[in-house]
Structure 1
Amino acid sequence: MRGLLMENLAETANAYMAWWSLAGVDCAVGEEPMNWLRPVQDAARPRISAADDGATLTRPQSFEAFMTWLAEGAAQPERRWPGAAIMPAGPVNAPLMVITDMPDPADLEAGVLFSDRAGQLFDAMLRAIGLDRQDVHLASLFLSRPPGAMVEATDLALAATRMRTHVMFASPQRLLLLGDRTIRTLMPTADSGLRKFNHDGGTLPAFATFHPRLLLGQPAAKAECWRVMQGLIEEMTK
């Protein structure tokens, strides 16, 4: 019971930090006093052209070049965050590509995505559709975890752009998107179930459902997750 309480507290803390991030709070303490009653001014923001975007300038032309760019590119947002990066893993042309939002703290310690109890549940989900980790291409929107798990809107936009390129080069037969942040970033109008994902090379079937970390804290959501997984099974057997 105590362990479950601690897990729920951790999920609550992440949700709390995400709420403040959406509210526009990006730091706990500022260096200068703030006049919260000042009139709001619409400051003109400088336009950033594609030529100013280091990620665009170094656009890779192959899967191997993309992986090198992902790991070493100076423009990647992960360069600003502490901790080692967890690179995508798995074959190209896989029957399924699984995309999550970012590594969990336990993943950073283990050096792989979906470790600990969330990983055990993830492996069970794969077995239910007749696959294991060696069969799928596994990736995350972000290779590491920022402080407080809070990500700026510009970083989310970059992650969505580079993931569309990633999907094109990885060339899976279908996608499984896990977690609300992943779904909102890549398919903001999607509901759970089957959708079409637009990537740099075309479209492919995509399924969206809950992240295993949520399922551990909210077992009632497993029924909806299983409904999505059944739809994935049906699509794979066509």
Structure 2
Amino acid sequence: MTQPDLSLAREFEAALAWWRAAGVDCDYHDDATSWLADAPPACAPLSGDKPAPMRPTASGKAPEAGQPARLRADAPAPPPAPAPAQTPRPDLMGESPPTDLAAFREWWMHAPGLDTARLHPRIAPRGPAGAALMVLVPQPEEGDRERLLDGPQGRLLGNILAAAGLEENAVYCAAALPCHTPMADIAALAASGMNAVTAHHVTLAAPQRVLVLGSALGPMLGETTQEGLRRINNNGRTVPVMVSETLEAMMDMPRLKSRFWRRWMEWSASH
């Protein structure tokens, strides 16, 4: 018997030992393996069994052997899927909506269904009816308790109005939501009926112009143009509207103040 080449055996054993030390002790391959079993073949009928009779097709002929049976022409159609139930839109104003600002303020403070955040109190709008300017903000400030915009945002608004030559007491200030609401979904709240409340509010306030401080408030008043300028109909007359960033955003990004001021000057010159 021929003796094996000991040096080659040692090299082979050393190579295996090296791969074991590297952690490779299994054989791998790249061929794909199907883990899902193939469908079992159709069982042939037993010799003593009779095949099930085939129904005739619409043409009146029975399908040939090995061909799938077609649906009968007189088979009833499946029932249509039921239409999804639509939730009726809430009527927050009710059958007797407020007819003046005094009644609206009372309704705003106590009407059920308006609470958007029970942790914060409702804050009433302020200002006279028929004001030269109505300012609409998304919601009261977090620290408001008795007066709308009674914190840093209110001080910024007061400075803006003073620079524009407007007395703050002569401006009608309102919020789209009755209380401070963290992470408020303005679009969903508008669709739930708050847009009708806002429209009625503007009608009762009857301002000559409306300044909307919050681009997200578009659903409350309808869609706006790319420039943030639009008009609304109020008791048969057209009221100019300017939409801009929120007071909070202007405080966080001072550059927005200069942009707001340029647009305000252009808007004021034409309205």
- TM-score of the pair, normalised by structure 1: 0.69
The answer on whether the counterparts of 1:81 and 1:145 sit within 8 Å (CA) in structure 2 is no
The answer on whether the counterparts of 1:129 and 1:233 sit within 8 Å (CA) in structure 2 is no
The answer on whether the counterparts of 1:77 and 1:155 sit within 8 Å (CA) in structure 2 is no
Match of 1:149 in 2: 183
One-letter code of the match for 1:141?
Answer: A
Change (3 A) 1:176 1:153: closer
User: Which residue of 89, 94, 97 corresponds with 1:59?
Assistant: 97
How far is 1:181 from its partner? 1.9
One-letter code of the match for 1:95?
Answer: A
Partner SS state of residue 127, structure 2: coil
Q: Which runs of 5+ in 1 are unaligned?
A: 1-41
Change (3 A) 1:149 1:168: same
State how far apart, in whole Å, the 1-side matches of 2:259 and 2:130 are: 28
One-letter code of the match for 1:57?
Answer: E
Change (3 A) 1:46 1:76: same
Relative contact order, CA 8 A, sep 6+: which one is greater? 1
Partner SS state of residue 105, structure 1: coil
One-letter code of the match for 1:149?
Answer: M
How far is 1:127 from its partner? 1.1
Match of 1:89 in 2: 126
How far is 1:184 from its partner? 4.4
The answer on whether the counterparts of 2:231 and 2:241 sit within 8 Å (CA) in structure 1 is yes
How many pairs align?
190
State how far apart, in whole Å, the 1-side matches of 2:190 and 2:102 are: 23
User: Which residue of 21, 40, 44 corresponds with 2:84?
Assistant: 44
Change (3 A) 1:228 1:193: farther
Change (3 A) 1:61 1:130: same
How far is 1:209 from its partner? 1.2
State how far apart, in whole Å, the 1-side matches of 2:187 and 2:204 are: 25
Change (3 A) 1:105 1:163: same
Change (3 A) 1:199 1:209: same
The answer on whether the counterparts of 1:164 and 1:198 sit within 8 Å (CA) in structure 2 is no
Asked if 1:226 corresponds to 2:261, the answer is yes
Determine which structure has more spread, i.e. the larger CA radius of gyration. Answer: 2
Asked if 1:188 corresponds to 2:188, the answer is no
Match of 1:100 in 2: 137
Aligned Cα root-mean-square deviation (Å): 2.6
Deviations 1:84-135 (A, max 9, x none): 11101000010000000001213x2x53333333222211110121113201
1:5-24 superposed matches below 5 A: none
How far is 1:217 from its partner? 1.1
One-letter code of the match for 1:59?
Answer: P
Change (3 A) 1:165 1:150: same
Match of 1:166 in 2: 201
Match of 2:173 in 1: 138
Change (3 A) 1:177 1:58: same
Match of 1:75 in 2: 113
Partner SS state of residue 212, structure 2: strand
How far is 1:145 from its partner? 1.8
Q: What percentage of residue pairs aligned between the two structures are identical?
A: 25
Q: Which runs of 5+ in 2 are unaligned?
A: 1-81
1:28-39 superposed matches below 5 A: none
- TM-score of the pair, normalised by structure 2: 0.62
State how far apart, in whole Å, the 2-side matches of 1:113 and 1:54 are: 22
Deviations 1:156-179 (A, max 9, x none): 232211111111111111100001
